[in-house]
Amino acid sequence: MDLKYKRILLKLSGESLMGKQKFGIDPEMLKHYAYQIKAISDLGVEVAIVIGGGNIFRGLQASQSGIDRVQGDYMGMLATVINGMALQSSMEKLGVYTRLVSAIEMRQIAEPYIKRRAIRHLEKGRVVIFSAGTGSPYFTTDSAAALRANEIEADAILKGTRVDGIYTADPEKDPSATKFDKISFTRVISLGLNVMDMTAFTMCQENNIPIVVFDINQPANLMKIINGEHVGTLVEG
């Protein structure tokens, strides 16, 4: 079987782990992700994952509660480690070999990030979960996803969201919004569309890494993308 992408970086939001809860981790959502990731890993796709921490703590909003921005960002990074541990546990119950890698050293929990070691894990068929963002404040998990995708030479970033692609406006707020099947990096910028933060987006543009924005809540979507079917919105060129 010819796969469209052989090595991917899957970007998941922390909020999506909440399911219908107001915060925290929904066990059913963990299983939902784990089954999808296992399915493409079983095909031989090399899978790296970056997951956010917004279901537990969001650094940008920390200043509203009087927490220093840098301190708040580090707290957000630790939230991504918790999500990474949960996802790792869920996948290992399905028999998927994983490695949790952290940009902040915490040896009892995760491996430190070393590029060559991470690539070797991927080559051996292990799913690699990158946690703790970039390890530096002021950068989002989108930036971490773009950075790691470039470092491991991923074929694409697959960004799983609650909507089925990129629209002219927020489809949850504007019913007249229309969806793009394909769009260029330049047009996304000129239209001011919110796909990823600008640091992450520019990094992908400069290094020609395509981004696929799709609805992760539809169980078959990830597999369809890997098999070359058109799902969501493709950003490239």
User: Over the stretch 58-78, which tens digit does the pLDDT of each residue have?
Assistant: 766 666 778 888 999 999 999
To 10 degrees, the CA torsion angle through 46, 17, 180, 147?
A: -50
The string over 23-41, giving b where at least 16 C-beta atoms fall within 10 Å of a residue's C-beta and e elsewhere, is eebeeebbebbbebbbbbb
What integer pLDDT is reported at residue 208 of this predicted model? Answer: 95
Instruction: Provide the token pair at 73.
Output: 């960002």
- Name which residue leads in pLDDT, 194 or 124: 124
Average pLDDT over residues 72-91: 96
In a domain, 71, yes or no: yes
What integer pLDDT is reported at residue 57 of this predicted model? Answer: 86
What integer pLDDT is reported at residue 96 of this predicted model? Answer: 97
CA distance 19 to 25: 8
The whole-chain average pLDDT of the chain stands at 93
- Bridge partners of residue 211, in order along the sequence: 157, 235
In a domain, 1, yes or no: no
In a domain, 39, yes or no: yes
In a domain, 77, yes or no: yes
CA distance 59 to 73: 4
What integer pLDDT is reported at residue 60 of this predicted model? Answer: 60
In a domain, 54, yes or no: yes
Average pLDDT over residues 218-222: 92
State the residue range of the domain holding 136.
7-235
What integer pLDDT is reported at residue 158 of this predicted model? Answer: 98
What integer pLDDT is reported at residue 99 of this predicted model? Answer: 98
Residues 6+ apart with CB under 8 A from 35: 94, 219
What integer pLDDT is reported at residue 139 of this predicted model? Answer: 94
pLDDT confidence bin for 119, thresholds 50/70/90:
very high
Distance of CA 2 to the CA centre of its chain: 24
What integer pLDDT is reported at residue 36 of this predicted model? Answer: 96
In a domain, 27, yes or no: yes
Long-range CB contacts (< 8 A, 24+ apart) of 56-64?
A: 56/14, 56/23, 56/24, 56/82, 56/83, 59/137
- What are 152-198's pLDDT values in tens digits? 999 999 999 888 999 998 887 888 999 999 999 999 999 989 889 89
In a domain, 2, yes or no: no
Helix (H, G, I), strand (E, B) or coil at 75: helix
Check which CATH number belongs to the domain holding 165 and give it.
Answer: 3.40.1160.10
In a domain, 13, yes or no: yes
Quote the number of domains for the chain. 1
pLDDT at 224 over 80: yes
Instruction: Provide the token pair at 9.
Output: 């970086």
Task: Report yes or no: 91 and 127 within 8 Å, Cβ to Cβ.
Answer: yes
pTM here is: 0.94
